[in-house]
Structure 1
Amino acid sequence: MSVSVFAHPFLGALLGDAEVAACFSAEADIAAMLRFEAALAQAEAEAGVIPNAAAEAIVAAVSRMRIAPSDLAGAVARDGVVVPELVRLLRAAVGEPHAGLAHKGSTSQDVIDTSLFLRLKAAADILAARLEALMAAFDRLDAEAGALMLCGHTRMQRARPVSLAHKVAGWRDPLARHRARLPDVAMNLFRVQLGGAVGNRAELGAAAQAVADGLADRLGLLRAPRATHAERDGVVAFGHWCTLVCGTLGKFGADICLMAQNEVGEVTIAGGGGSSAMPEKNNPVAAEILVTLARFAAAQQGGLDQALVHENERSGAAWTLEWMILPQLVVAAGAATRTALALVAALRFPVAADQNGSPT
């Protein structure tokens, strides 16, 4: 065991997702925060808040900075957030006479949240592409074997026959609904965060909206009429979306576990899990992992809901809780989509079944 199975040297291959997890690396976070600072300077120069020469100096400094996570660790333990030290290093790199204009009108949460939203957007693109691939895989399965008749079960008891197509629709159609609702989730999350000290953009005066819009456009995020430092419903909704994806794929995994039982024999899984004690076994590992990830995500979502409760204009406690839970939820959704794609490709159904739904 380890603190995180997702990053474990060997459990990560089973439960993790390297592609999605890369969105949450410290290096990706640092790069996104520096992008914020460069884009902020450019937007402020465009709006007349700082001189063009200052923006050019800040952008040049960002382009040549090489910050390692270890350069920030000690200061984070002291300050509770990474941005004060990041800005100190940035200002040192900019030098006089423009150093003091770096990070102007912004605050730590603006930088950290915008970095998060940029990286969540990248993760959402990966997950959306995988949902589309899964729907296509289920469509192929339906076309190839959908006419196969199986024994239906209700409340774990034998019921009337159903077609494999009926089963596949129950696995595929919820994924289509999740894919369709993602743009609405994104609309409320992938927005620029710029509010300044207490979220009212007071430090930027009359130029505040122009700066925020210019920043959003440069980063490829949606514009925002105001900051949402203490309004975390967008973040929590994205967690819910990931939990729904995991839950839907967990149902798929649970069905395959039952269908693959030796005494049922409705499906076999190519390249399944071996046993150290019984070499003849073929354990439904991928299907079981889908069930595990669904249950894990559901448990984590309750904790993420707690991050909705901010005191006044910002809560350090609620905000930090997000950092602990949200990445695990998103990586779980990544692992579930990755595992499900491999599982669909490994399913092998009998070519015929009798009229009662029993394989022949």
Structure 2
Amino acid sequence: MTAAVFSNPILAGLLGDEELSSYFTAESDIEAMLAFETALAEAEAAEGLIPAESAAAIAARAAGFAPDIASLADGTARDGVVVPDLLRQLRSDLADDHAAALHKGATSQDVIDASMAMRMQGVSLVLDRRLAALVDGLAEWSIAAADAEVMAHTRMQAARPTRFQRKLSAWSDPLVRCRLRREEIAPRAFALRFGGAVGDRASLDGKGDAIAARVAEILGLWSAPGSLHTDRDGIVEFGTWLSLITGALGKFGQDVVLSLQNEVGELALQGGGGSSAMPHKQNPVGAEVLVTLARFNATLVSGLHQSLVHENERSGAAWTLEWMILPQMAMAAGAATRTAQDLLGRLSLAEATRTG
């Protein structure tokens, strides 16, 4: 047992996701924060708030920046956020006028929220690609299954025969809806949350909305009419979307486990997990993992709803809760899509089912 199952060198093979984990490294977070500061300077220069020379100097400094991670860790322990020490390090190699232009009119939450939005949007695109592959794979299986029938079960009891294609639709259709939901929630989930010290963009000389729109365009995020510092429903929608993905794949996994039982034998699994005591067994490990990940995210999504309670104009407590919960939910969805793709490639109708 370990505190970090997604990155543990042993358990990562079962529960991890190498592709998605790249979005949650300190390096990727810092890279995204630097992208925000560079975009902010570019936008402010375009609106005449800072000199173009300062924007160029900030971009050059960010491009060649090598952070002192130990100092960032100490600063975060002291300040509760990484940004003050990150800015101190960035300013240390800038001329005074350029250093003053860096981060002008922004606050720590703007930087951290922008980094999160950029990385979560990337995560969503990876998951969407995998969902598309799963839907295609299930469609191909449906064509190959033709008129094959399996026994339908209601309340865990044998009911009457039904076409296997109907069962495949029950696995595929929720994944299609998940793909559609991503498009629907994107403007809220991947919005630029930017408002300055108290969320009113008051330090930007009346150009806050124009600057925010420019920054959002540069970063590939959605532009919002306000700061969204305490409006976290879009983030919770994204967490709910992650749970819907794992839930849909959990249903797939649960059905597969039941269909693979020796007493049922409607599906066949190639390359199941072994047993230390019973070498004849092929355990449906991947299908079981899908059930586990569905239950895991169903538990965490309630915690993410707690982060909706952002008191007044900024919450340190609710905000930190997002950092703890959302990456785990994303990693669980990544592990589920990866596992489901592998499992789908190992499954087939049992011989008796195909010929029955």
Q: TM-score range by the shorter chain?
A: over 0.9
**SS across alignment from 1:158:** strand
CA deviations on 1:270-318 (whole Å, 9 max, x unpaired) are 1110011111100000000000000000000010000000110011000
Alignment of 1:1-360 (within 5 A): 1-353=1-353
Residue type at the aligned position of 2:111:
V
Letter in 1 for 2:189: L
Question: Is this contact kept in 2: 1:148–1:352, CA < 8 A?
Answer: no
After TM superposition, give the deviation of residue 186 of structure 1 in Å.
0.8
Give the Cα separation in 2 of the matches to 1:263 and 1:68: 60
Alpha-carbon distance in 1 for matches of 2:352, 2:288:
26
Q: Distance in 2 between matches of 1:353 and 1:283?
A: 20
Q: Aligned AA for 1:133?
A: A
Deviation at 1:96, TM superposition (A): 2.4
Q: Distance in 1 between matches of 2:297 and 2:154?
A: 26
Q: Secondary structure, in 3 states, of the residue corresponding to 1:150?
A: strand
Is contact 1:27-1:69 (8 Å) kept? no
Which secondary structure state, in structure 1, belongs to the residue aligned with residue 147 of structure 2? Answer: coil
| 2:130 counterpart letter in structure 1 | R
Distance 1:284 1:26 in 2: 35
TM-fit CA distance, 1:70: 2.9
CA distance in 1, matches of 2:71, 2:260: 51
Structure 1 residue 352: deviation in Å? 4.8
Cα distance in 2 between the residues matched to 1:71 and 1:17: 29
1:232/1:307 contact within 8 Å kept? yes
Q: Which amino acid aligns with 2:208?
A: A
Cα distance, 1:68–1:11 mapped onto 2, change above 3 Å:
farther
Q: Per the alignment, in what secondary structure is the counterpart of residue 227 of structure 2?
A: coil
Secondary structure (helix, strand or coil) at the match of 1:93 reads: coil
TM-score, scaled to structure 2: 0.98
Q: How many residue pairs were aligned?
A: 356
Report sequence identity in percent: 51
How many angstroms does 1:326 deviate by?
0.4
**Letter aligned with residue 24 of structure 1:** F
Normalised TM-score (structure 1): 0.97
Alpha carbon RMSD of aligned pairs, Å?
1.2
Q: Is the 8 A contact 1:191 1:222 kept in 2?
A: yes
1 CA distance for matches of 2:49 and 2:344? 55
Counterpart of 2:251 in 1: which secondary structure?
helix
